[in-house]
């Protein structure tokens, strides 16, 4: 067998998004994509490129610049038998359509006693690192995770991006897939064809024995760099990629803490009110007797994301911050 046939196929994160959406459209005749610039332009980051030519304007639909109307479309279409994929260009624009999200999409199935099903998938971009300033760089996953009725996913790599998009589109509930624009060019092994990444399951991306870092999205890569650096200090660090924000896989996190007895939670979102506080609380409630040190947290400062590249670099948490925080907490 030629050597090339034994090599894993790799795709960029942005290409895996495209492939995941395409698999959904091929599988589900009642699925369509709607959003601003998704058709003619192929999406602001090119992640819908080629889909208009393949599936036509009835299934790849450019909408007016009205996020509220776009989400109203998603709610109505899903409640009446379609399985829409709604593209929210930047997560920051979520505030424009929060009533549709919080009071309609998240609540309708409950308020109709289960008589309405809303199989709507929302794809949106979050995070900094591209000098897009305060209105295009936020991480607002905590907003969504606080709303009963929604599922919230944050795939870190290309493999998970494709698999989570497919899993979301097959789910009969509203599912937000929060994509990270700083990871668009990163490559990973991605199988051909359709596959799912299970909703509600975290992933141990690096096994370790005496310290746990629980992290999300692009911060996974920073945590892995930090883990390598901390090895020089005698720490064998386990890194957990949360992946599924809601439902949250507390079992994997608690099992790791019971093994390592020490930990830190890191995310790119503003630290105050972020998901890290919830994870720390769950660890304290379920594994307090196993802790040999306080659980630490890393997040962004309580400040809008700067436009200036040097300021943004200081603003965003990184591996150096993780290492410093862990050493300070442990006194090493």
Residue 261 annotated in active site: no
Q: Report the 10 Å Cβ neighbour count for 237.
A: 27
Q: Which residues contact 253 (CB under 8 A, 6 or more apart)?
A: 202, 212, 214, 240, 242, 279, 282, 283
Q: Which of 136, 159, 238, 312 is catalytic?
A: 136
And the tokens for 66?
């009205």
Q: Which of 67, 141, 238, 312 is catalytic?
A: 67
197: β partners: none
Contact 213, 223 (CB under 8 A): yes
Closest CA to 17 of 241, 215, 186: 186
Please provide the DSSP assignment of 239-282 as one string.
Answer: EEE--EEETT-HHHHHHHHHHHS-EEEEEEEESTTSHHHHHHHH
CA 222, 143, 199, 81 dihedral sign is negative
State the angle between helix axes of 319-330 and 219-230 in degrees (0 to 180), rounded to the nearest 10: 50
Residue 222 annotated in active site: no
Q: Which residues are catalytic?
A: 67, 136
């Amino acid at each position: 067998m030629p050597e090339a046939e034994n090599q894993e196929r790799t795709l960029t994160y942005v290409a895996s998004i495209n492939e995941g959406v395409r698999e959904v459209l091929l599988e589900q005749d009642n699925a369509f994509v709607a959003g601003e610039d998704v058709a003619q332009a192929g999406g602001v980051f090119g992640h819908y490129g080629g889909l208009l030519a393949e599936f036509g304007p009835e299934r790849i639909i450019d909408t007016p610049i009205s996020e509220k109307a776009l989400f109203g479309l998603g709610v109505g279409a899903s409640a009446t038998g379609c399985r829409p994929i709604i593209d929210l260009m930047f997560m920051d624009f979520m505030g424009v359509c929060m009533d549709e999200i919080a009071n309609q999409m998240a609540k309708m199935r409950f308020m109709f006693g289960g008589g309405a099903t809303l199989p709507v998938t929302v794809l949106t971009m979050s995070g900094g690192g591209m000098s897009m300033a305060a209105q295009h760089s936020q991480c607002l996953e905590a907003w969504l995770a606080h709303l009963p009725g929604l599922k919230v996913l944050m795939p870190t790599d290309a493999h998970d991006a494709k698999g989570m998009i497919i899993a979301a589109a097959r789910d009969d509930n509203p599912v937000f897939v929060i994509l990270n624009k700083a990871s668009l060019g990163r490559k990973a092994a991605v199988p051909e064809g359709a596959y799912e990444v299970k909703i509600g399951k975290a992933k141990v991306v690096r096994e370790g024995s005496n310290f746990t870092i629980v992290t999300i999205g692009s911060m996974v890569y920073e945590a892995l760099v930090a883990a390598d650096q901390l090895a020089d200090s005698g720490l064998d660090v386990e890194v957990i990629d949360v992946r599924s924000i809601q439902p949250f896989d507390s079992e994997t996190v608690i099992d790791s803490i019971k093994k390592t007895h020490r930990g830190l939670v890191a995310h790119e979102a503003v630290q105050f009110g972020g998901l890290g506080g919830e994870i720390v609380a769950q660890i304290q409630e379920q594994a307090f007797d196993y802790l040999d040190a306080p659980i630490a947290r890393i997040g962004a400062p309580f400040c809008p994301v700067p436009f200036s590249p040097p300021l943004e670099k200081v603003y965003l948490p990184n591996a150096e911050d993780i290492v410093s925080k862990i050493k300070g907490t442990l006194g090493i």
